[in-house]
Amino acid sequence: MSSATSSPDGDLLAGVRVLDLSTVGPAARATRVLGDYGASVVKVGPVPSVGTQPITPPYFAYSGHRGMARVEIDLKSESGREAFLALVRDADVVVESFRPGVLDRMGLGYERLREENEGIVLCSTSGYGQDGPSSQRAGHDVNYLAAGGFLATSEPRGDGGPPLPGATIADAAAGGLHAALAVTAALVGRASTGRGCHLDVSIADGVLWLMSLAIDEHLALGTSPGPGHDLLTGRFACYQTYEASDGGWLAVGAIEHKFWANLCRLLELDRWIDHQMQPDLQDEIKADVAAAFATDTRDGWAARLADADTCVAPVLAVAELSSSPNLEARDLVIEAHHPTHGTFLQLAPVLAGQHRPAAPVSSPDLTITATDDLLGRAGVSAETVASWRREGVIA
C-alpha cells in the first residue's frame, strides 16, 4: 500500500450484520460498500423453484461478492418468513429493493421487523421512493438520469439527443452510495437512541442531489441550465475535451486562471491568457485550442501537460486502466479466487477508510448457500432447520 495512505487499525463497520434481499442494482451497490467497510453481508435469495433459477450476476460482478455469504429462503411461505425473521433478530440492517409495498404485503415490513429487533435499520431502495405518483413505476439507471435532469444537461450526441452515460451513475452514486451513507448515518443515530429506522432511498431523489448546483440555480434565478449554459457544461474553452492527432482525446479542466495561463503558454496560445472567461471569444479560443491539440498525440500531450499544473488528463479506455501507474502505486487492484473460475483480478476496496486485504480474497460460489449454518448461529434448532428444508422453504 502507498506509504502516503493511512489505514484504519481495523474494518470500520466490523460487527455490523447486513441482510441483503437484492441481486443487482443500487441495493447491491450499497451492500458492496458496506461490506468493504467491514460489515458482514448475507445475500438472501429465493429458493429455486421447478423450471426457474434466481438471478445470479456474473462471478466477477459486484467485486465477486467478496466476503459475502448466501442463504436461500422462500419468503412467500409462513415457515420461510419465520426463517428470515430469525436472521433479522441478530442483524443490524436489512436492505431491499422490491417495489414499494411488497415487503409489507409479505408480512415483513418495517413494523414487523421492529417487533423482532427494535434496533433494525431497514433500507428500502426504489426508483422513485416509497410514496408519490411515480412510486410504482419501473425503471433503470437511464430513466432516473432522465427524470432528474442529468441527461438534459449533458452534451448532446450528433443527432441532438442526450447521450448514454458510460457508467451507471444513478445506480452507483444516486442509489448505492446514497443508501450506504443513509445506513451508516442511521447506525450512528441508533448508537444514541437504541432505535432503528426505515430509510426511503429514492434513486431519482439521489439524482436531484447530484444535479443540485443546476437545480438550485434554476430555483433561485429562474434560469434553464443545459449544455453550454455555464463553465461546467461546455460554455468555455478551459473546460472541454479535445481530440489529439492520433484520434485520442484529452480532458481539460483548467478552471482556475493560473492553470489556464500555464496551459496557454504550453500550447503557445499566450494571447488568450487574459480572455479565459470572455463569452464572445469562446468559439475562437476553442478553435485555436483544438488546432493546437491536433498537432500531437494524446500520450504526447499528456506527457507534456499532466504534471505541468494545467489540469489536463488523457481520456483512458477501461482496458488501459490496468496498466495505469496510479493503480499500481496505490494498490487499487487485487487478486481474487473463485472456486470454479479460478484466480482473477478485480478492483480493490478503493473508498477512503476501507481496508485493502493483502492476500488474495475469496470470491464465493453463490450457488452454494450457508443457510443451515447461519440459521443455527441465529438460534434455530437443527430439527427446525431440517423441517424447513424438507418443506422446501430454505435451500
pLDDT in tens, 30-60: 999 999 999 999 999 999 874 456 677 899 9
pLDDT at 3 (0 to 100): 39
Which positions ≥6 away from 267 have C-beta within 8 Å? Answer: 289, 292, 293
Query: pLDDT per residue over 321-369, tens digit each?
Result: 888 888 888 889 999 999 999 999 999 999 999 988 877 999 999 889 9
CA nearest neighbour of 228 among 211, 248, 214: 214
- Enumerate the β-bridge partners of residue 347: 333
The grid coordinates of residue 356 equal 485493502
What are the CA-CA distances from residue 30 to residues 123, 238, 366 (Å)? 10, 35, 18
pLDDT at 53 (0 to 100): 63
Instruction: Give the residue ranges of the chain where pLDDT is below 50.
Output: 1-5, 50-51
The answer as to CATH 3.30.300.30 being correct for domain 231-243+249-314 is: no
Which positions ≥6 away from 84 have C-beta within 8 Å? Answer: 19, 44, 73, 75, 108
Residues 101, 106, 107, 111, CA torsion sign: negative
pLDDT at 366 (0 to 100): 87
pLDDT at 377 (0 to 100): 94
| In the chain, ranges of CATH 3.40.50.10540 domains | 17-210+346-391
pLDDT at 357 (0 to 100): 83
User: At 252, is the secondary structure helix, strand, or coil?
Assistant: strand
| In the chain, ranges of CATH 3.30.1540.10 domains | 231-243+249-314
CA distance 321 to 310: 22
Residue 15 near residue 90 (C-beta atoms within 8 A): no
pLDDT at 126 (0 to 100): 97
pLDDT at 8 (0 to 100): 64
What are the CA-CA distances from residue 267 to residues 120, 134, 243, 254 (Å)? 59, 51, 14, 13
Residue 96 near residue 394 (C-beta atoms within 8 A): no
Number of H helices, E strands in the chain: 16, 12
CA nearest neighbour of 252 among 195, 264, 343: 264
Topology of the domain comprising 17-210+346-391: Rossmann fold (3.40.50)
